[in-house]
Structure formats: structure tokens, C-alpha cells
Structure 1
Amino acid sequence: MTIEEGPDLNLDAGPRVRRGEAERTCIVNRTAGSPDGLIRFVIDPEGVVIADLKAKLPGRGAWVTATRAALTEAVRRKAFARAFKSEVTVPADIADRVDALLEGQALSALSLANKAGAIITGFSKVEAAASNQDIAGLIHASDAGEDGVKKQAQAVRRRHGDDEGQVARVTLFDSSQLDLALGRMNVVHAALLAGGPSAHFLARCAALEVFRSGALTGGPSPASVNEPKH
């Protein structure tokens, strides 16, 4: 079946997932899967296609696999116009806008984790936590020095041995972004204490990393990466 046919397969019936509608179909590759692995798009009152990351905006929605490559292909194929069966405006920088939204979600989750007391900062304190506690992950600023990153990795290795790969690493943000999210100056390294707030942050980081690269490279995907959007 082509994209032009079967419009009910291209759009959902609204923002709420109803019984029997647990799967969504990507308008680009026609692959059906959990909504967690796709991004919902709707048309705003001006006819502009916008991302609905929380899948709560009113109106029928079109779903795209949650990667930059898939979104770029959707734009190239004019898949949104076909799916919505109408003239729509797709911003030229729609992929960058989605990236910024996903990044904002991750940094907001980091701020919430910090308020919940789940973040440790300061090189020595992070090293001690990595050596003595079962932390959920390490955060390194993208502009962190290589020596500091190696020392933190050694601390994790002393604690976890062959299981060190179970500790997530986040290197998605520079030090200025970490400073702003955590309300502190000169944050280069941080440790994530195990728990819900850290898992939520890691889930948002996973979504951002998968969108950018199509895969996870910073360690294990936490169980809550598949937390529902609805």
C-alpha cells in the first residue's frame, strides 16, 4: 500500500492512545511499533507541521520514527502533505527544532533530578561516588578534559569491574549547559544517583542521542527509556 492510500493508516485519531491502538505506523518507512520509538506531528492553526513530543496536542497526528534521518526523509518525500491529505508548511529547519526540543527536555529532566538530590558534582565527590556507590551514570561535559574523564572511568572500573558498562555515560552537553541546568558554576563532571529522577533524565538523553545518531553510544539504555509519552 502506498502512502497516498489508506489515510487511516497514516494518521491517528487524536492524542489519546485507545485500546487496540498501542502501535503507531511511521509515515516514512511504514514500520509499525510502539509510540515510544516515534515522534508525533500535528498541524497548527496556521497549517505548519510541528512536533508533539508528549503526544497530547489536539487533532489527528502523523508519526515518524524518532531519528533525524527518518524526519529528513519525511521532508524529502513530502510525506506530511500526503499523510494529512492537505497543503501543509514544513519548516526547513524542522529537524533542528525537534533536536532543540529533545535537548530542552533532557536538560529540564537534569534540573529536576538535581532538585530531587540525585546529582553529585565536584570532581572529588564524583570520583568518590563512582568508587563507592552503585551510581546510575556519569555526566561529562562535552568540553571536559580527557584526563578527567579517564580518571572517573577508572573509579567506576574499581567499583564495578567487568560490569562497568552498566553505568551510563552522558556527554551530550557542554559545561555552560550543565551550569545552567544545575544552577552552579564550572560543572564538568557529575554523578547520577540511582532512582526515578536519574532514570527519567537518562531516558530523555537516550531519546536525544537516538534522534541524532540513530543509536545509543553512552552506555545501557535505562528501563525507563520506554516510559510512555501518554
Structure 2
Amino acid sequence: MTRGGREKLNDAPERRCIVSGDRGPKSGLVRFVVGPDGRVVPDILGRLPGRGIHVSADRALIGRAASKGLFSRAARMPVQAPEGLADLVEDLLARRVVELLAMARKAGEAVTGYEKVRDWLVSGRAAVLVQAEDGSERGKAKLRPPDGEDSLISCLDAGEIGLAFGRERAIHAALGAGGLTARVVEEAARLAGLRRREAGKQVGGTDRREGL
């Protein structure tokens, strides 16, 4: 069982990315469907009716799918990808992560504020550390993520973290090992892929970092 109560299943459903051809768990891809008007629609929650078309959660690959007509090829019919599709997916994923983080707060599974976050980390209650990508490096280095994989989320900015906690801004947050934590981590990983720019500069992620 992974941190946050998740179970790793070897037979987890996999889908193929229409751009790279790679197969992987559905949680690492973005599902799209073709709407009644023939336009490509991101299905972040994976619930919209219709045949799913999957692209890895990567800004460059989604942009390539839109510009190279790969959605039409996958759908076997002419379809139109909206301009700025990768930006739209990024926005939807960011809203989803903030929404899940707010749900975790309401369930008592998340806290913000330096002192509270530090207490959760020291006591071992924290499973995941969340830090704003636009926070000061000196301030963030004072807190060390818990041991283990996927123990740091750094793809949100201070305004987004603050929104989840009813504040204007927040730099630090911590998630306990509750059921919502796994969902936050998975969606944040997808968001990190959309915030990775083609030049190689990544705006945050869910990898582990060292603190002081």
C-alpha cells in the first residue's frame, strides 16, 4: 500500500497516448472526448460520455496532438481542437488540485501555516508537504518533506494554495495519510506535466527534494 492509503495494482487500467504511443496508467494521461459540435473536450474527471482519446499529461504532447491533427486521426473523423488546449487543460487541472486540497482541509486532512506544517512533519502526521513554487527558496528549505516517494507537491503557486485554505496566499501546507491525499498527489502530478515548459524549465512537480 502506498502513502495516503493507496494500493498499487499491477493490473491498473492502462491507456495509450496517441502522440507518443506509450501505454501507462489512466492517472498519468488526460482523457479527451469529441463533443456534439465536433470539438475536442478535455475530460479531467474521466466521466464524459463518448470514446476516450488519451494523451500523456504533458504540455508539449497535448500541443502536438492539437497542431498535428492527431485528435482527428484517433477519432477517425474531422474534429477541431480549440486554440490554447494545453492552457485549458492546465487551468482545469489546477482547479481540480485546489478543489481536492480544500476538501482535504475540510476533512481535517490538511493544514497550512509554517508552524502547523512543521508540527505535522515533526510528529510524523504529514504524508505530503505542499510548497508554493513562487515561495522563497530560503523559507521552503527550512521544511523537509517526509521520506518516501511523492512526498512533495510544488506545482502550485501561493495564491492557489491560499485559495484552498480560504486565504489570499499560503506558502506551506501538509497533507495527512488520508484517502484524499492520494487523489491530490495524482492530480498534482498531472498538473506538473502541464506546467513543464518545452524549454525544459519545470514549474514545480511532485518529486522529492532535500530540506534543512
Measured against the shorter chain, the TM-score band is: 0.7 to 0.9
2:135 partner letter: A
Look up the match of 1:104. Answer: 95
Q: Is the 1:165–1:219 contact (alpha carbons within 8 Å) kept by the matching residues of 2?
A: no
Task: Say what the alpha-carbon RMSD is for the aligned residues.
Answer: 2.7
Look up the match of 1:200. Answer: 183
Look up the match of 2:54. Answer: 63
Look up the match of 2:39. Answer: 48
Q: TM-score, normalised by structure 2?
A: 0.79
Residues 71, 135 of structure 1: alpha-carbon distance in 2 compared, 3 angstrom cutoff: same
Q: Is the 1:42–1:62 contact (alpha carbons within 8 Å) kept by the matching residues of 2?
A: yes
Question: Quick one: which of 166, 182, 194 aligns to 1:183?
Answer: 166
Look up the match of 1:172. Answer: 155
Residues 129, 30 of structure 1: alpha-carbon distance in 2 compared, 3 angstrom cutoff: closer
Q: Is the 2:130–2:172 contact (alpha carbons within 8 Å) kept by the matching residues of 1?
A: yes
Look up the match of 2:75. Answer: 84
1:48 deviates by 0.9
Look up the match of 2:206. Answer: 218
Q: Is the 2:188–2:206 contact (alpha carbons within 8 Å) kept by the matching residues of 1?
A: no
Identity of aligned residues (%): 35
The 2-side partners of 1:26 and 1:189 are apart by 34
Residues 125, 33 of structure 1: alpha-carbon distance in 2 compared, 3 angstrom cutoff: closer
Q: Is the 1:138–1:167 contact (alpha carbons within 8 Å) kept by the matching residues of 2?
A: no
Can you list the C-alpha shifts for 1:33-57, whole angstroms capped at 9, x where unaligned?
4333322211112211111122221
Of the structure 1 ranges 97-106 and 182-191, higher mean CA displacement relative to structure 2 is found in: 182-191
1:113 deviates by 0.4
Residues 29, 125 of structure 1: alpha-carbon distance in 2 compared, 3 angstrom cutoff: closer
The SS at the match of 1:152 is coil
In structure 2, list runs of 5 or more residues that go unmatched. 1-11
1:128 deviates by 2.1
Can you list the C-alpha shifts for 1:188-223, whole angstroms capped at 9, x where unaligned?
212212221222212211121134339994336xxx
Look up the match of 1:17. Answer: none
TM alignment of 1:9-48, pairs within 5 A: 22-48=13-39
The SS at the match of 1:42 is strand
Of the structure 1 ranges 70-79 and 92-101, higher mean CA displacement relative to structure 2 is found in: 70-79
The 2-side partners of 1:31 and 1:125 are apart by 41
Q: Which has the higher helix share?
A: 1
The SS at the match of 1:219 is coil
Question: Quick one: which of 47, 50, 63 aligns to 1:72?
Answer: 63
The SS at the match of 2:111 is strand
In structure 1, list runs of 5 or more residues that go unmatched. 1-20, 221-230
1:106 deviates by 0.7
Can you list the C-alpha shifts for 1:129-164, whole angstroms capped at 9, x where unaligned?
2222241121222232223212123xx5xxx6xxx4
The SS at the match of 2:32 is strand
The 1-side partners of 2:32 and 2:76 are apart by 14
